[in-house]
């Protein structure tokens, strides 16, 4: 294993600048503790001079003990025409009482003259004074050279002078920032090489944004030519198109390039950390995320599945468990017998040894998907279909009648009621219930009727409901697909229904969700 690459997480600061992301102080503390468990070396907690919430976080953080991570406060250089000891931003940084402070300064002359509106020499003094002052207070100082790559391309002499100024102030690490995220990989490598040549022996870092989809690639490229620190965020959260995704950075560096970032034993927690932060951010995990996404090791094509059953390496670049993920085989109209046999084994179902059952199931699935069903997104319905097709499932109840009424009076809120009559064996049950909409009313009425016979129905609840129009040329008479997600104390499952009638499609998906619950119990 080569020399270690330091991981600097800025999810709690730069990540919160992303659209729809807003962490409370308590949530930031929970994320910081999770990142400490993962073993990242630095966590940027926020900008204490910018808002009360960040300062409150730093006050709360003093009460906990991070084992492997240095908490870092972030802020800007001093303002123009003010002494550093008088600058409120630098005062707030010191009040955070972190061992490490990161400050950013302008390295693009355009920003200095046209955004800040100060002379180029004054900007250099602002950088020097700020770094020197914080070093005099015994702090480790990381200098973020903001817009460095754009600045270098526009005026390389001045951009390098900003770096020299921070070094003269005794900055511990110089971080080169692709703040606009527009630098190509080849250009970035050449610029980092030039900085290394100009300042040999100075630790360099990279801070890449993802505006061209190159955040991770640029981070890896910078490490390749000498960067010792990578800044980024979990799941790539951040302003505009986001920051370099540290999940992919860590996985690539440690598993592909052989550069140590965190303890080897912690790599298997990358998926857990990704989803943990996603859950706190209240943003659904992206299925297609490399390494940790739900689809990262999902196989749908029959030829692919046949191959991975023989040798997973054929279609998987790493073992999914190495990053805490797992292999998934999907079933759809693209499936072959291999998909069905894999799923049957996964579901502990028995298929006929002559392959007839798997052929029969594939044929049924292809016909139903042609009608609009989608079984790769509804594995609960898939399992029921496989059980029904092979005679391993008997319906636990039958519908005798269903009436749904949706009443809307003038400005009053709409009222939905469902009346249902079912049979369970020789017994019949009729009941009614109200709900927030017709589907909720049906759900409430059905479970109310069934709870007498199957008390464990009370454990489950419907948590998501999606409707998609399959082909819009028929307008409101078009066929629709309904996907329902349900869960109990142990499991989550998805079911599907398709019909020209949205109530009928919802009923199909709803009944499958209950069938699945009763079947697995």
Largest CA distance in the chain: 91
Q: Give the mean model confidence (pLDDT) for residues 221-237.
A: 98
d(CA 35, CA 8): 10
Q: Tokens 């550069």 identify what position?
A: 259
> What pLDDT score does 1 carry?
44
Domain boundaries, the chain: 6-262, 298-370, 397-453
Q: Indicate the average pLDDT of the chain.
A: 91
Binning pLDDT at 50, 70 and 90, where does residue 475 land?
low
Which of 315-324, 350-359, 368-377, 485-494 is predicted least confidently? 350-359
Provide the Cα torsion 194, 200, 202, 203; round to 10°.
70
Higher pLDDT, 346 or 386: 386
- Inform me whether the pLDDT recorded for 409 exceeds 90: no
Q: Give the mean model confidence (pLDDT) for residues 165-194.
A: 98
Higher pLDDT, 461 or 296: 296
> What pLDDT score does 349 carry?
78
With contact defined as beta carbons under 8 Å apart, do 181 and 210 qualify?
Answer: yes
Q: What is the pLDDT of residues 90-105, one digit of tens each?
A: 999 999 999 999 999 9
209, with CB counted inside 10 A (0-12, 13-18, 19+), is buried
Q: What is the pLDDT of residues 423-447, one digit of tens each?
A: 999 999 999 999 988 989 999 999 9
Q: What is the pLDDT of residues 118-155, one digit of tens each?
A: 999 999 999 999 999 999 999 999 999 999 999 999 99
Higher pLDDT, 318 or 336: 318
d(CA 180, CA 220): 18
d(CA 454, CA 460): 12
- Inform me whether the pLDDT recorded for 163 exceeds 50: yes
Q: Which CATH superfamily is 6-262 part of?
A: Aldolase class I (3.20.20.70)
For domain 397-453, the CATH architecture is 2-Layer Sandwich (3.30)
d(CA 437, CA 427): 29
Tokens of 519: 């079947």
| DSSP strands (E only) in 311-397 | 328-329
> What pLDDT score does 335 carry?
65
What are the residues facing 299 on neighbouring strands? 329
> What pLDDT score does 334 carry?
66
Binning pLDDT at 50, 70 and 90, where does residue 290 land?
very high
- Inform me whether the pLDDT recorded for 410 exceeds 80: no
Tokens of 396: 């636990």
Q: 70-76 and 100-106 as β-strands: parallel, antiparallel, unpaired?
A: parallel
- Inform me whether the pLDDT recorded for 17 exceeds 50: yes
Provide the Cα torsion 92, 94, 98, 104; round to 10°.
70
**Max mean pLDDT range (52-66, 146-160, 285-299, 383-397):** 146-160
Q: Give the mean model confidence (pLDDT) for residues 370-382.
A: 85
> How many Cβ atoms sit within 10 Å of the Cβ of residue 167?
16
Q: Give the mean model confidence (pLDDT) for residues 203-229.
A: 98
> What pLDDT score does 355 carry?
59
- Inform me whether the pLDDT recorded for 83 exceeds 90: yes
- Inform me whether the pLDDT recorded for 168 exceeds 90: yes
Binning pLDDT at 50, 70 and 90, where does residue 173 land?
very high
Helix axes 356-370, 337-346, angle to 10 degrees: 100
- Inform me whether the pLDDT recorded for 521 exceeds 90: no
Contacts 24+ apart (CB under 8 A), 27-33: 27/280, 28/57, 29/57, 29/60, 29/61, 29/64, 30/280, 31/234, 31/276, 31/277, 31/280, 32/61, 32/64, 32/66, 32/69, 32/71, 33/64, 33/66
- Inform me whether the pLDDT recorded for 493 exceeds 80: yes
Which CA distances in Å does 124 have to 31, 127, 166? 36, 5, 8
- Inform me whether the pLDDT recorded for 360 exceeds 70: yes
> What pLDDT score does 413 carry?
83
Higher pLDDT, 207 or 472: 207
Q: What is the pLDDT of residues 454-466, one digit of tens each?
A: 999 988 888 888 8
Which of 57-66, 368-377, 451-460 is predicted least confidently? 368-377
Query: Between vectors from CA 3 to CA 275 and to CA 66, what angle results, nearest 5°?
Result: 45
């Amino acid at each position: 294993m080569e020399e270690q690459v330091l991981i600097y997480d800025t999810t709690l600061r730069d990540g919160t600048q992303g659209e729809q992301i807003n962490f409370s102080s308590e949530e930031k503390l929970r994320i910081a503790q999770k990142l400490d468990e993962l073993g990242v070396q630095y966590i940027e907690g926020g900008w204490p001079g910018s808002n009360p919430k960040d300062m409150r976080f730093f006050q709360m953080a003093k009460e906990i003990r991070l084992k492997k991570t240095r908490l870092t406060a972030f802020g800007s250089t001093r303002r123009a025409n003010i002494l550093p000891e008088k600058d409120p931003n630098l005062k707030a940084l010191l009040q955070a009482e972190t061992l490490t402070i990161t400050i950013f300064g302008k390295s693009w002359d355009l920003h200095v003259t046209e955004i800040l509106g100060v002379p180029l020499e004054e900007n250099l003094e602002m950088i020097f004074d700020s770094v020197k002052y914080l070093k005099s207070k015994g702090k480790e100082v990381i200098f973020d050279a903001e817009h460095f790559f754009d600045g270098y391309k526009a005026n390389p002499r001045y951009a390098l002078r900003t770096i020299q100024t921070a070094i003269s102030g005794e900055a511990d690490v110089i971080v080169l920032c692709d703040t606009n995220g527009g630098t190509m990989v080849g250009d970035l490598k050449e610029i980092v090489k030039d900085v290394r040549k100009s300042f040999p022996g100075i630790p360099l870092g990279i801070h890449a944004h993802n505006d061209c989809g190159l955040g991770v690639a640029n981070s890896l490229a910078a490490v390749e030519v000498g960067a010792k620190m990578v800044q980024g965020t979990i799941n790539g959260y951040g302003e505009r198109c986001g920051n370099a995704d540290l999940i992919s950075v860590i996985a690539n560096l440690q598993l592909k390039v052989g550069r140590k970032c965190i303890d080897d034993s912690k790599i298997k927690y990358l998926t857990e950390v990704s989803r943990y932060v996603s859950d706190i951010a209240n943003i659904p995990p992206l299925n297609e995320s490399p390494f940790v996404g739900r689809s990262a090791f999902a196989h749908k094509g029959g030829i692919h599945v046949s191959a991975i059953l023989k040798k997973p390496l054929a279609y998987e670049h790493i073992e999914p468990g190495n990053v805490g993920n797992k292999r998934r085989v999907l079933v759809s109209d693209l499936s072959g017998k291999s998909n069905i046999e894999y799923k049957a084994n996964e579901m502990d179902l028995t298929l006929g040894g002559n392959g007839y059952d798997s052929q029969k199931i594939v044929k049924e699935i292809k016909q139903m998907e042609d009608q609009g069903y989608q079984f790769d997104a509804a594995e609960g319905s898939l399992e029921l279909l496989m059980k029904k097709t092979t005679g391993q499932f008997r319906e636990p109840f039958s519908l005798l009648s269903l009436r749904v009424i949706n009443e809307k009076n003038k400005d009053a809120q709409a009222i939905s009621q469902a009346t249902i009559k079912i049979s369970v064996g020789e017994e019949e049950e009729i009941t009614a219930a109200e709900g927030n909409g017709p589907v909720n009313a049906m759900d409430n009425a059905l479970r109310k009727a069934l709870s007498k016979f199957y008390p464990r129905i009370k454990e489950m609840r419907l948590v998501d409901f999606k409707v998609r129009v399959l082909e819009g040329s028929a307008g409101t008479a078009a066929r629709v697909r309904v996907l329902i997600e349900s869960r109990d104390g142990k499991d989550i499952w998805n079911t599907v229904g398709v019909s020209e009638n949205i109530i009928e499609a919802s009923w199909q998906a709803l009944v499958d969700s209950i069938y699945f619950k009763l079947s697995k119990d």
